[in-house]
Amino acid sequence: MNPAIEVSGISKSYQISHQAKPAYNTLKDDFGKLIRRPFGGSPEESKELFWALKDVSFEVNRGEVFGVVGQNGSGKTTLLKIISQIVDPTSGSIRLRGRTASLLEVGTGFHPELTGRENIFFNGSMLGMSRQEIRKKFNEIVEFSEVEKFLDTPVKFYSSGMYVRLAFSIAAHLEPEILILDEVLSVGDASFQKKSLNKIATTMEEGRTVLFVSHSIDTVQSLCTRGLLLKKGKVKAIGPIKNVLDAYAGSLPILKPEKIKELEGVKITGAQLTDAHKKLTAKSSLQGELTFTTGRELPDCYINLHVEDRRGQVVIHSRTDFVGKNPSFKPGTHKVSINIPRLSLNPGSYSVWFRIYAKYKDETHLADSDRIMIDVGGKIKDSMSTLEIPSSWQWSKVDDKS
């Protein structure tokens, strides 16, 4: 069966200009610029070729909700604009099999001077709908958008939320075979977001195709069956949505507190979870082990274990609490282990890492281990928040360089 969306080797480049700028301008410099400019003179300028997308290929099947994720600047919106035929690619090709509607930015396809009523017909015609089709769906569009009171008001007076409600309602109700959605739903209030997501789910049940970009990992996971991870314009993962979201979580940088320096002279040589390969549940325990080598004494040092969900929220935080007095880490190799007797986590994928803190010369320094991915199943709790959980730590000296 032919896919609804076929993207083959898409690349998009832009030329970026860089103007050489002096540290400061004198009055003489400013007058010189004014004199030279009419005669063609201009400040020194260099150009750089920037690739927003590089050789991106994937297919979306008919009736599939396909998610696109990635950090800001990864190329998601550029990709959707190319697929929506708003922007031409530098190279590659797009094939769409079906009538397509796109909702990429607040107010896209609206004329600010026209009323909401007029824009329903204007925007609908841009999406390829006949006037008869628009009339047939008009009442449903207005009711769903919740802007009936302002229907005869020019949309330039609408709030961003009203813009989104009307634009989404038009795109969703005029029965496109392919619906392309960017992050715009995040502008609406919670109740409208929920209603919109239910509408997308209904669209999926009716066999229509949806290409969906969002930073809401929970939403992507609940709606999409497959997905794509972009990083710096390149495809980093593609396949089942769980695998893609796991790759996305693993690619996120570990945020470090401001004004804290890298811990020099310390090398993390191993970080592992003994039960990471097992299917964990909310009642499971978790054992971890960190091995590191230090070339200097760390008299004021402690170690944290962090567990982070897909949204980047730390849901478990445990700080070293050794049996007896905290050790002074002397030069050599050290092994630290932790036992968490009960995870108490919602089902889903999580990333785990260790962080070493040390303080000397009145400055805090740190070093982080790589992330370790775990999966948790079991019964869903009503809520989840950052947990300072009971845990026990052990320490042993592997060798001694002192």
pLDDT digits 0-9 by tens, 32-47: 666 655 555 555 566 7
The verdict on pTM exceeding 0.75 is: no
Residue 382 included in any domain: yes
User: Is residue 220 located within the same domain as residue 190?
Assistant: yes
pLDDT at 390 over 50: yes
pLDDT at 400 over 60: no
pLDDT band at 316 (very low <50, low <70, confident <90, very high): confident
User: Is residue 17 located within the same domain as residue 130?
Assistant: yes
Residue 145 included in any domain: yes
pLDDT at 349 over 90: no
pLDDT at 279 over 70: yes
User: Is residue 210 located within the same domain as residue 289?
Assistant: no
User: Is residue 155 located within the same domain as residue 236?
Assistant: yes
Res 19: pLDDT: 61
Mean pLDDT of the chain: 80
Residue 33 included in any domain: no
Burial grade of 271 (CB within 10 A; 0-12, 13-18, 19 or more): buried
- Domain final residue pick, 251, 274, 301: 251
Residue 256 included in any domain: no
Residue 29 included in any domain: no
- Domain final residue pick, 251, 271, 288: 251
CB of 226 within 8 A of CB of 66?
Answer: yes
Judged by DSSP in three states, 221 sits in helix
Res 387: pLDDT: 45
- Range among 90-94, 276-280, 355-359, 383-387 rated most confident: 90-94
User: Is residue 104 located within the same domain as residue 188?
Assistant: yes
User: Is residue 275 located within the same domain as residue 172?
Assistant: no
The residue segments making up the domain with residue 305 are: 261-397
Gap between the Cα atoms of 140 and 158, Å rounded: 20
- Domain final residue pick, 222, 251, 280: 251
User: Is residue 283 located within the same domain as residue 324?
Assistant: yes
User: Is residue 243 located within the same domain as residue 341?
Assistant: no
Residue 311 included in any domain: yes
Q: pLDDT of 134-165, one tens digit each?
A: 899 999 999 988 889 999 999 889 887 888 88
Res 142: pLDDT: 92
* Among candidate residues 233, 224, 215, 185, the one with its CA nearest the CA of residue 52: 233
Split into its structural domains, the chain has a count of 2
The strands making up 100-103's β-sheet, listed across from edge to edge, are: 100-103, 178-181, 209-213, 65-69, 226-231, 234-240
